Structure 1
Amino acid sequence: MTQFMDVHHGMKGITAEQLSAAHRADLAIESEEGVHFEKAWADPESGTVYCLSEAPSQEAVMRVHERAGHPVTEVHPVPLSVS
């Protein structure tokens, strides 16, 4: 499977609890699309949220986010990474 980084905009003022709740909503349904969300980060000041996942496609990532109530239009494949 491929790793993807998606970017949400317009979430200015998001709290740690709201980020956690959104991530839990994704986790609750991710298996239905063959996706696994690994981690999420947020910048409350800019309203930008980033999610890292493994998925069969960009569309699968988008479907999970849509169904969980926080649609995303920006999903990028991550073909290379280092630790």
Structure 2
Amino acid sequence: MPLYIDVHTVPAGLKMEDMMQAHKADLQAQGPHDVSYLRYWVDEDEGKIFCLVEAPSAAAASAVHREAHGLVADHIYQVQEGC
């Protein structure tokens, strides 16, 4: 299954706890979309969130975010793991 990294700009006022809850919501919503959110990282200084996801398509990955909490990514990149 393809791997994607998506990049979000953190909305003003969003706290780390809010991001953790959004990730939990992704995990609950991902099954019907055949998506698996694996990890996420936060760069608080730059106001960015990065999510690593296995998904059949970028659209499927985005649908999970939209359904779970509405915080869709600014960009989604298909990536391949290097050695």
Q: TM-score, length-normalised on structure 1?
A: 0.86
1:5-64, Cα deviation, whole Å (9 max, x unpaired): 000013456433222111101001101110000001111221100000100000001111
| Structure 2 stretches lacking a partner, 5+ long | none
| Structure 1 stretches lacking a partner, 5+ long | none
What letter corresponds to residue 31 of structure 2 in structure 1?
S
* 1:54 is the counterpart of 2:58: no
Query: RMSD between aligned alpha carbons?
Result: 1.6
Match of 2:42 in 1: 42
Distance in 1 between residues matched to 2:25 and 2:82, nearest whole Å = 26
Q: In the TM superposition, what are the counterparts of 1:1-40 in structure 2 within 5 Å?
A: 1-11=1-11, 14-40=14-40
What letter corresponds to residue 63 of structure 1 in structure 2?
A
Aligned residues: 82
Distance in 1 between residues matched to 2:43 and 2:13, nearest whole Å = 8
Q: What percentage of aligned pairs have identical amino acids?
A: 33
